[in-house]
Amino acid sequence: MRLSGRSRVSRVSRVTRLAAPAVAALLALTTACTGSTVQGRPGASGLRDPYFPKAGNGGYQVDHYRLDLAYDPGDGVLHGKAVITARAEQGLSSFNLDFSGLKVEGVTVQGAGARFNRTGSELTVRPADDLRTGEVFRTEVAYSGKPKALSDPDGSEEGWIPVEDGAFAVGEPVGSMTWFPGNHHPSDKAAYDITLTVPKGYEAVSNGLLRSRTDTGDGRTAFAWHSAEPVASYLVTAAVGKFTVATGQTPSGVPLYTAVAAGEAEDGGPALARLPEMVEWGAERFGPYPFAAAGAIVAPSETLAYALETQTRPVFSGVPNEELVLHELAHQWFGNSVSPKSWKDMWLNEGFATYAEWLWAEEHGGPSAQRRFEAFLAGDTSVDAGAGSDWDAFPPAVPPGPEDISASPVYYRGAMVLHRIRQEAGDAKFFALLRGWVADHRHGNASTADFTAYAERKTGLDLSKVWDAWLYGKDSPR
């Protein structure tokens, strides 16, 4: 095969990124490649997300993750095997996975041993044979160690969080790389099969449906969880502990599975008891519940400083209140089914989930959304404590930096954007917009520009003044 000048350059530059012992092997591989018909180049090490440029990787999309994990809360050691089925979007001589900490014991691609090296949270894999554009390929990564949580740019903790007698995994925005290798950016959603093997006496909970619970015969229990609908990797969870488990279904038949940590109110409290009713309410307002299962995980209070809308089964720290249960449920439509294209689009998650709280409240004896909107403008905290926050500090579609993607303007001013649309469009068009948005982007990804274009098309209105003042404008709209 003739190598073009360009690929020679890329092959040389690749050498500079390798550890010395790998260089000789690479040169041998380069020679071997001249006899093959496939020629790849390295996949990008990041997707250039405006806030997390190294999150995710270029050159492939994942269809399915199979994670086989064994965890012992006694010593905090995780043994993992990840089987990642992906499709190459270009010829690949190497590709990256995001993975932080832990020890990689071995990597295979298409069944053959693959070379790998690690720099920061990038795991670079070089398959024995280059991958063709369009090729569906299987990567297996065996790993182990004590997973460590990460500190977010805003100072909160995420990733694998060990607690007194168990562990909880939460991954927004980039924490999932602390416990499994993957393409950790919301733009690459995939199906999951996660098997958690834990010592007898512990429960292990993840997303989706529990396919089986098996006594392994060696003093352990294996829990096999299945998510058929696509999941963004930040929404994948694993929870290990001594839990009270409750199962059931919503009135329309969505299976429920709720796990509450020992030491918390066994039933998860009165707000969680309303989850079935809330699922039905959400389906009426936003369209059919998007997943095959629902539920919740209640971790010991103070496990985390926040809750997370992990798919089908949000994680709460201690018994949640009604607003919080509703908020994390609303994310199943807004964020989980319709996911952000980049971390800049967080207000599409948080503004919508916050507005869902306002809608629930106005239909269940609380203040109207209009009253709340006015209270925010007036800074009147008697209606909503959030009115006393710096909700107008920056425009929600343009957080100043990665430390701001979960800050109050993203939530409150984001919700106020929706209320402004409702004021302009009226209830009929506004609710049709919400339903249409969810239906047309179901199990997909969307950006702010996608939303503003969609809203104008769907309502037939010119909403540029709303976008300018509320979404993008630097000045406070007060």
Candidates 306, 431, 454, 472; binder of ligand ARG (CB under 6 A) is 306
Rounded Cα gap, residues 190 and 185, in angstroms: 11
CB closer to Zn ion, 152 vs 350: 350
CB closer to Zn ion, 202 vs 411: 411
Identify what 472 binds: Zn ion, ligand ARG, none; CB under 5 to 8 Å per kind: none
Q: How would you classify the pairing of strands 209-215 and 220-231?
A: antiparallel
Rounded Cα gap, residues 142 and 125, in angstroms: 13
Residue 476 DSSP SS3? coil
**Minimum distance between the CB of residue 156 and ligand ARG, rounded to whole angstroms?**
4
Site string for ligand ARG, 441-460 (x = CB under 6 A): --------------------
Rounded Cα gap, residues 63 and 68, in angstroms: 17
Site for ligand ARG in 368-407 (CB under 6 A): 406
Residue 353 touching Zn ion (CB under 5 A): yes
Residue 323 touching ligand ARG (CB under 6 A): no
452-460 contacts: CB < 8 A, separation 24 or more?
455/421, 458/429, 458/432, 458/433, 459/421, 459/424, 459/425, 459/429, 459/430, 459/433
**Minimum distance between the CB of residue 228 and Zn ion, rounded to whole angstroms?**
24
Q: How far is CA 79 from CA 67, 69, 105, 202, 421, in A?
A: 10, 6, 10, 17, 49
Rounded Cα gap, residues 237 and 295, in angstroms: 13
Q: Which of 240, 206, 204, 246 is nearest to 225 (CA)?
A: 206
CB closer to Zn ion, 123 vs 353: 353
Residue 229 touching Zn ion (CB under 5 A): no
Is the CB of residue 353 less than 8 Å from the CB of residue 418? no
CB closer to ligand ARG, 141 vs 417: 417
CB closer to ligand ARG, 11 vs 189: 189
Is the CB of residue 198 less than 8 Å from the CB of residue 73? yes
**Minimum distance between the CB of residue 436 and Zn ion, rounded to whole angstroms?**
22
Rounded Cα gap, residues 195 and 391, in angstroms: 41
Candidates 49, 98, 264, 309; binder of ligand ARG (CB under 6 A) is 309
CB closer to ligand ARG, 135 vs 350: 350
Site string for Zn ion, 284-323 (x = CB under 5 A): ----------------------------------------
Site for ligand ARG in 146-165 (CB under 6 A): 152, 154, 156, 158
Rounded Cα gap, residues 463 and 417, in angstroms: 11
Stretch that binds Zn ion, among 70-78, 199-207, 249-257, 351-359 (CB under 5 A): 351-359
Tokens representing 440? 């047309």
Whether residue 173 is preceded by a cis peptide bond, meaning omega within 30 degrees of 0, is: yes
Residue 350 touching ligand ARG (CB under 6 A): yes
**Minimum distance between the CB of residue 307 and ligand ARG, rounded to whole angstroms?**
5
Site for ligand ARG in 167-226 (CB under 6 A): 172
Site string for ligand ARG, 18-57 (x = CB under 6 A): ----------------------------------------
The residues with which 166 forms a beta bridge, in sequence order, are: 163
Identify what 238 binds: Zn ion, ligand ARG, none; CB under 5 to 8 Å per kind: none
**Minimum distance between the CB of residue 303 and ligand ARG, rounded to whole angstroms?**
13
Residue 13 DSSP SS3? helix
Tokens representing 33? 């490649």
In 2-100, at which residue ranges do the beta strands (DSSP E only) sit? 41-42, 60-72, 77-88, 92-98
Residue 350 touching Zn ion (CB under 5 A): yes
Residue tagged 């709209």 (tokens) = 477
Per rule CB under 6 A, count of chain residues that contact ligand ARG: 13
Residue 203 touching Zn ion (CB under 5 A): no
CB closer to ligand ARG, 123 vs 329: 329
Residue tagged 């969307």 (tokens) = 446
Question: Rule CB under 5 A: which residues touch Zn ion?
Answer: 350, 353
Question: Rule CB under 6 A: which residues touch ligand ARG?
Answer: 152, 154, 156, 158, 172, 306-309, 327-328, 350, 406
